[in-house]
Amino acid sequence: MFNIFKSAPKNYENLDGKTFKSKFQNSPKAELLDVRTAGEFSAGTIKGAKNLDVTSSQFQSALKTLDKDKEYYVFCRSGNRSGSACQMLSDQGFKAYNLSGGVGAWPR
């Protein structure tokens, strides 16, 4: 039976902290995106991350400035906002990975 309420296919990968960090560190095209608010970002982030607030009205236009040849490793506090950001990225043809569990899942 056809389900009209079926969600759109997910074109990004959810990764646990260890896998996310390993793939990020081993990809020459990796870009780390922190999609939390500027306040959360300034309180502490993963070294080398760029801040691009997914809740900002500028988020969609900021996506247009990103390099489609790169792979985006995306995180937030819990993994929810970064999941949404990954879906938006993948909808526009970007390769995206979500850090399941958020910034706290990043191995120290």
- DSSP letters, 19-43, are HHHHHHHT-TTEEEEE-S-HHHHHT
pLDDT, tens only, 66-99:
999 999 999 999 999 999 999 999 999 999 999 9
Is residue 87 in a domain? yes
Q: What is the CATH number of the domain that holds 37?
A: 3.40.250.10
* The total number of structural domains that make up the chain: 1
Contact 54, 86 (CB under 8 A): no
Contact 85, 34 (CB under 8 A): no
Is residue 4 in a domain? no
User: Which residue in the list 54, 76, 85, 99 is annotated as catalytic?
Assistant: 76
Is residue 77 in a domain? yes
Is residue 8 in a domain? no
Domain of 81, in residue numbers: 13-105
pTM of the prediction?
0.90
86: annotated active-site residue: no
